[in-house]
Amino acid sequence: MTPRSPEHQPKSYSPILPGHTEWPVVRLSKNRKSFISAVVNETVNRILHNGHSPQSLIEELELTLFLERNRMRRNPWKVDPEDDDEFWDNIKVQLVNLNQLPPKSLEKNTTEMVESIVSRYSEEIAGNYKQSSYRLARTIITFGFARLLNVARIKGPKALWSGQLDLPDKIHVTGETEQLRSLAKIGTVVMVPTHFSNLDSALIGWVIHHLGLPAFIYGAGLNLFNIGIFAYFMNSLGAYKVDRRKKNLLYLESLKAYSTEAIKYGCHSLFFPGGTRSRSGKIEENLRMGLLSTAIEAQRCNYSESPEGKATKVFIVPVVLNYHFVLEAPGLIHQFLEQQGQERYYVENDEFTNSYKIMKFLFKFFNKGSDISVSIGRALDPIGNYVDDQGNSIDPKGRPIDTSDYFKSFGEITKDPQRDTEYTRMLGNRIVEEFHKINRIFSSHLVAFVAFQILKKKHSKLDLFNFLRIPPDEMPIDYHRFLEHFIMVRSKVFELRDQDKLQTAYHLEGSPEAVITHGLNNVGLYHAKRPLLKSKTGDVISMDLYTLYYYHNRLHGYGLEQYI
């Protein structure tokens, strides 16, 4: 095991709320039916009051039907409702009959069809949090992961019950943890993590429990509910379902309304603003604004519906997850390269296809002794300003400001979609900035970056695709040359860290040779073809340039290429 740094001594956190009955997600679950009804009403109102005529609504319904039937035919999942065919066949019949109705009946029936579809979507999206299941799932995650760690590292039957190792030894939670806990007591937290692996949701669930926070509601990919063990955990931990196959207006508005209403309700929320796992391995730069905009809308509604000075504030907390290796990396980078330069629909397809493979992966992960880092960033308000521990927004000059003013026109809180769209864009840019600032560089990231850049610049006349096709065993890197470049790039990384532009793991300290060894031992260590290793002759070699490119990309955006 990597020696423990003094700054990473495991810490225990007491719950910020004494009783589970006070958790917002518990109150929401008790009022699930009325909450879903509110989501349906809000969604239908959005759609009907968005300038849609009856004829344009019919066209939207026809498009929805086409997309849904296409989804069922081309990309069905076992988690899909059993009555999908029956429901959408009925919608088709109703659409055919609409043409025979007089204008007044046409408008009424069209509205009823919108309500029917939105109700179905809202029920599908809604989480099903249960306190008893949450406790069990939390216990399984904490106990199970910790026991796997002990079995893998200590050996022997006693390892199952040993207390020698615990998850905080393996999962390093760093950054603004105390501020997060403080803000969760006085407002509503929206946590926005990076997304690299299907393990992210379970990892964040453990972190929330570890920090003593109430349960958050999750925006979890519906594909995870295809897998038995994930389906149980996600349902138990308060996840609401996000089906990325559904691109129609009615579904997207239902999803946004669900998130907005939940944040207004006071439920701490979590969603991945990148929308899906990073295919390239890069820190997300182009965020999906749909769910992000719901935090801004919820804050505006809180201001307009509450007495002056009494509105609940919404706080945005960026989080960066870092692994030495990602199980799905080889498949993800190939998807990225296939899609590069164009937005193309793709089928979710990854290695997490059943519970056995997940357990096998977890055991091998812990057996390899590889660490995980969870970096908690400083909280932002919905406009992108930093906030202090008391929840006060601070402008770039360090002055406290009243964010309700951002939503006022002539002294009154007003709804302005164009203005809110601009605020969402500003918030997205600030989150990306914070992602890069709190990104915690691992030795594995650094050795991958240095090796890939050396090889790429050696073949600078080739474009990326042709370069990646070169047989990797034909491109050994002399170790002394590698060491020289590694020392230079690491020194620049430390300079950036001192400028508060990134963070570094403690194992990046020490002699360059020791750090290189640590990086080579960890980068892509689970993969059949190692992206980087040391040959018997002492050279640094790659057995998989594609996967090396994936891990190299974690340092994209810092301008380090110029130092090789």
From first to last of its 564 residues, what are the pLDDT tens digits of the chain?
344 454 556 677 888 887 777 788 888 888 899 999 999 999 999 998 877 778 889 999 999 999 999 999 999 988 899 999 999 999 999 999 987 888 778 888 999 999 999 999 999 998 776 665 566 656 655 555 555 444 444 444 444 444 444 566 678 899 999 999 999 999 999 999 999 987 787 788 889 988 999 888 887 777 777 666 666 666 666 678 889 899 999 999 999 999 999 999 999 999 899 988 999 999 999 898 888 999 999 999 999 999 888 999 999 999 999 999 888 899 999 999 988 745 443 444 445 555 566 666 666 555 555 578 999 999 999 999 999 999 999 998 999 999 999 999 989 999 999 999 999 999 999 999 999 999 999 999 999 999 999 999 999 999 998 899 888 767 899 999 999 999 999 999 999 999 999 999 999 999 999 999 999 999 987 788 999 999 999 999 999 999 999 999 999 999 999 999
- The residues, any chain, with a CB within 8 Å of residue 514's CB and separated by 6 or more, are none
In total, the chain counts a number of residues equal to 564
The answer to whether 444 touches 551, Cβ cutoff 8 Å, is yes
The answer to whether 552 touches 329, Cβ cutoff 8 Å, is no
CATH 1.10.8: does it fit domain 172-356+371-438?
no
pLDDT at 370: 58
CA distance 198 to 460: 35
Whole-angstrom Cα Rg for the chain: 25
CA distance 288 to 265: 23
pLDDT at 363: 60
Count of H-run helices and E-run strands, the chain: 20, 16
The answer to whether 522 touches 448, Cβ cutoff 8 Å, is no
Q: Is the dihedral of CA 245, 250, 252, 258 positive or negative?
A: negative
CA distances from 351 to 229, 329, 530, 532 (A): 14, 10, 17, 21
Coil vs helix vs strand at 387: strand
pLDDT at 156: 47
Helical H segments across 155-224, by residue range: 167-170, 177-186, 200-210
Residue listed under structure tokens 């000059």: 397
- The residues, any chain, with a CB within 8 Å of residue 444's CB and separated by 6 or more, are 324, 325, 519, 522, 523, 524, 551
CA distance 511 to 494: 14
CA distance 340 to 321: 24
CA 257 centroid distance within chain? 19
- Axis crossing angle, helix 200-210 with helix 228-236, rounded to the nearest 10: 40
CA distance 258 to 220: 13
Count of beta carbons in the 10 Å neighbourhood of residue 348 = 17
The answer to whether 327 touches 526, Cβ cutoff 8 Å, is yes
pLDDT at 247: 92
Report angle CA 292, 45, 87 to the nearest 5 degrees: 90
CA distance 332 to 327: 10
What is the domain partition of the chain in residue ranges?
Answer: 24-125, 172-356+371-438, 440-563
CA distance 258 to 39: 6
Coil vs helix vs strand at 231: helix
Residue type, 519: G
